Amino acid sequence: MRRYLSIVPFLAAVLTTSSPAAAQTYVAGSLVGDIARFSHVDVPGVDDGSGEAIGFAVRLGTHITPIFGVEIEFARPSVIESSQGTQVLPAIPEALGLRLPDLVFPPISYDLRTETRNTTVAASVWARQELTGRVAMVYSGGIALVRSEQASWLDFVPVSSPFGMPREATSFAYPSLFEATTYSMQPQVGAEARIGLTERVQLIPGVRLYGLEGGWLLRPSVGLGWTF
């Protein structure tokens, strides 16, 4: 802890030695979209967590010089939902050479439902390129703490129900196949435009790319920033 606290005087010195025009602090809120892709092998009933989701992000940053600055961002997307279904035919009667009706061994189908969420806390350094008096491009890079959560369920539904009963009456769900949470430190880079709407308010569209364990995450966003 003492080692991390020693950074505070250094940051204070940097901010106090920056020019007043450069030492501007800003906050921003954004609507984000997650596009996650993972390495996988196509196996029936196995899901790799790839998909799309929407969420939100908030950030706090400051200029160190008129061109360079630092910021920290927290992003929380919704879950990526996916479902895979496969019909399972009973093999026991056929293995025994028997032909039993579906009443005894009804064919059963199952749906594998998976939910994945990738929450990030990213620390970045950025460089600013002025295009016009109101428009600038900002290029950033840094490190992100990624919290990946994944949970899966199995829903079993007979293809045919005995005695004409509704399928829902004979279906059942396995409470939880598995739940897993992993943490990792991953690189991230991004680019965004900062478009001045007023003296203090900016429109900020952009995109960031994050590394993930066995994959990547592309996160386009659009938001508003306020400069103090």
Q: Would you state the pLDDT for residue 118? A: 94
Q: Which of 9-13, 34-38, 80-84, 125-129 has the lowest mean pLDDT?
A: 9-13
Q: Would you state the pLDDT for residue 150? A: 87
**pLDDT: is 18 or 25 the higher one?**
25
pLDDT at 214 over 80: yes
| pTM score over 0.85 | no
pLDDT at 21 over 90: no
Residue 5 located in a structural domain = no
Task: Give the list of residues 6+ apart from residue 5 with CB closer than 8 angstroms, or none.
Answer: none
Residue 98 located in a structural domain = yes
Domain residues for the domain of 82 are: 20-227
Which pair of structure tokens corresponds to residue 67? 């061109």
Which pair of structure tokens corresponds to residue 78? 């919704």
CB-based contact 227:26 (threshold 8 Å): yes
In this structure, the dihedral spanned by the alpha carbons of residues 88, 93, 97 and 102, taken in order and rounded to 10 degrees, is: -90
Run of H or E residues at 57: strand 51-63
Look over the chain and give the mean of its residue pLDDT values, rounded to a whole number: 79
Q: 74-116: per-residue pLDDT in tens?
A: 999 999 987 766 655 554 555 555 555 544 555 666 677 788 9
Given pLDDT bands bounded at 50, 70 and 90, which one contains residue 20?
very low
Residue 204 located in a structural domain = yes
Cα Rg, the chain, nearest whole Å:
26
Query: Which DSSP string corresponds to 92-149?
Result: HHHHTT----TTTS--EEEEEEEEEEEEEEEEEEEEEEE-SSSEEEEEEEEEEEEEEE
Mean pLDDT of 139-162: 80
Mean pLDDT of 58-66: 94
| Cα–Cα distance list, 93 to 101, 129, 153, 157, 158 (Å) | 10, 72, 28, 20, 17
Q: Would you state the pLDDT for residue 203? A: 97
Residue 8 located in a structural domain = no
Residue 11 located in a structural domain = no
Residue 99 located in a structural domain = yes
Give the separation between CA 34 and CA 47, rounded to whole angstroms: 17
The dihedrals phi and psi of 133, each to the nearest 5 degrees, come to -65, -25
Q: What angle do CA 205, 183, 138 make, to 5 degrees?
A: 20
| Cα–Cα distance list, 159 to 93, 95, 221 (Å) | 17, 20, 43
The dihedrals phi and psi of 91, each to the nearest 5 degrees, come to -105, -20
Q: Which of 131, 126, 134, 138 is nearest to 199 (CA)?
A: 134
Residue 187 located in a structural domain = yes
Q: Would you state the pLDDT for residue 7? A: 42
Q: For the domain that residue 168 is a member of, what is the CATH number?
A: 2.40.160.20
Query: Looking at the 3D structure of the chain, how many domains does it have?
Result: 1
Q: Which of 85, 92, 93, 145 is nearest to 119 (CA)?
A: 145
Given pLDDT bands bounded at 50, 70 and 90, which one contains residue 181?
very high
Residue 44 located in a structural domain = yes
**pLDDT: is 126 or 87 the higher one?**
126
